[in-house]
A and B are shown apart, each in its own frame.
Chain A
C-alpha cells in the first residue's frame, strides 16, 4: 500500500518536474530476438558446466595437495641447504695462497720420493750427508737438528725410526 502511494507520489512529482518526459510511453522500446529467452538458460548452463569441471579439477589438485606440496617443498629446500652448507663434497676447500703452495710442494715432494726412493735410502742420505757437502741450508745435520730443537733427543729419533719399522742396521749406523 505504502509502496503504491510512493510510486503515485513519484509519478506526480515527475509530471511536475518533467512534463515532456512523463508524457513519453514508458513501454520498453527494445525487443530481443525470437525465442531468445527460451534458449538462453541452456546456453548459460552449457557454459557453466565446463567451468564447474575446471573448478572441481583445480579444487581437487590444489586444495588436497597444496598443503602437502608446500610442506614437502620446505623440507626438501631445508635439506638441500643443510647439505650444501655442511656436507657438500664438491665444495672447494678454502686455502690461502701460502698454505696452498706449501701443500702442493709437500704433497708433490712426498709423492715423488715415495715413487722413486725407499725410506731407508732417504734416511741413509740424511745421515751420511756431511755439513761441508751440504749446499742446502734447510737440510740440517742430525746433531744440528737436535741442537736447534732441544725438545727432541736422540732417543726420540731412534724411537721414531723403530716405530717406522726401519732396519736396525740403519738405526745403529
Chain B
C-alpha cells in the first residue's frame, strides 16, 4: 500500500468525520520509525512499547494544535525523543544508587534480550553506544541508524547543526575507541 502524504493525513485528521481514519494512517506510517528510534534508546521491548503508545497518545492529544511550523515527522520525532529521554531520566531517578546505574541496567536488558538478533560485533557496538551520555546516544542513533539529515536532527533536538556535528564526531571517536579496545 502506498504511503499517504503528511498533508493528506493532516487534512483527514482535521475533518471530524475522518479524524480516526486519518490518525490510524499516521500511526501506520510512523509507528516503525518511532518504535526503532525509541528501541535503540531504551533497548527493552516492553519499555519501548509503552513509550511508543505514550508518544502517539500525545500526538493525538496535540495534533489539533499542530501549526505546521515544522514538518509533521520532525514534530512527531521531537515528541518521541523527548519521551525517550524522559523515560531514561525517570529510570535514573529510580536507580539512585551509583552501583546500579541506568546504563548497566540497559546493558543487562541488551544481553537478556530475546529480540536481539545481531552478531557479536553488533552487540559490542550497542555496548559501546550505551557508554555514551543520553543526548549524545540519541544524536548518534538518529544519525547512524535513522540516517536523517543534520537539518532535520537539529529541528528534532533543538540543537544547532554545528553542535550536532561535533556531538556525532565525538560519539564516533568514543565508539571506535571502545570497539578497538574490547
Please, how many angstroms separate the alpha-carbon atoms of A36 and B48 in the complex?
12
B171 CB to nearest chain A CB (Å)? 10
The answer to whether B149 touches A3 (Cβ under 8 A) is yes
Instruction: Give the contacts of B140-158 with A (CB-CB under 8 A).
Output: 144-145, 147, 149
Instruction: Give the contacts of A27-74 with B (CB-CB under 8 A).
Output: 27-33, 36-37, 40-41, 43-45, 47-48, 51-52, 55
Number of interface residues of B (CB under 8 A): 41
Cβ-based interface call for B173 (8 A): yes
- Checking B24, B27, B35 against A32 with a beta-carbon cut-off of 8 angstroms, the contacting residue is B35
Cβ-based interface call for B172 (8 A): yes
Given A7-B147, A33-B45, A44-B27, residue A25 in contact with residue B35 (CB < 8 A):
no
Given A25-B119, A29-B118, A51-B60, residue A17 in contact with residue B36 (CB < 8 A):
no
Cβ-based interface call for B56 (8 A): yes
Cβ-based interface call for B79 (8 A): no
**Across the A-B interface, how many residue pairs have beta carbons closer than 8 Å?**
96
Cβ–Cβ < 8 Å partners of B125 in chain A: 21, 24, 29
Cβ–Cβ < 8 Å partners of B39 in chain A: 30, 32
Cβ-based interface call for A14 (8 A): yes
**Interface SS of B by simple majority:** helix
Cβ-based interface call for B126 (8 A): yes
The answer to whether B172 touches A32 (Cβ under 8 A) is no
Given A17-B169, A18-B172, residue A41 in contact with residue B31 (CB < 8 A):
yes
Please, how many angstroms separate the alpha-carbon atoms of A104 and B30 in the complex?
87
**Interface SS of A by simple majority:** helix
Number of interface residues of A (CB under 8 A): 32
Segment of B65-73, B98-106, B174-182 engaged in the interface with chain A: B174-182
A-B contact pairs, 20 of them (CB 8 A): A3-B149, A6-B149, A17-B172, A18-B173, A20-B180, A21-B172, A21-B179, A25-B122, A28-B145, A29-B118, A30-B113, A32-B115, A37-B31, A40-B27, A41-B27, A41-B28, A44-B27, A44-B31, A44-B57, A51-B60
Q: A residues touching B (Cβ–Cβ < 8 Å)?
A: 3, 6-7, 14, 17-21, 23-33, 36-37, 40-41, 43-45, 47-48, 51-52, 55
Q: B residues touching A (Cβ–Cβ < 8 Å)?
A: 20, 23-24, 27-28, 31-32, 35-36, 39-40, 45, 49, 52-53, 56-57, 60-61, 113, 115-119, 121-123, 125-126, 144-145, 147, 149, 169, 172-173, 175-176, 179-180
* Contacts A18-B172, A41-B31, A45-B24 known; 12 new A-B pairs at CB < 8 A: A3-B149, A24-B122, A30-B117, A31-B116, A37-B35, A40-B27, A44-B31, A44-B53, A44-B57, A44-B60, A47-B53, A48-B57
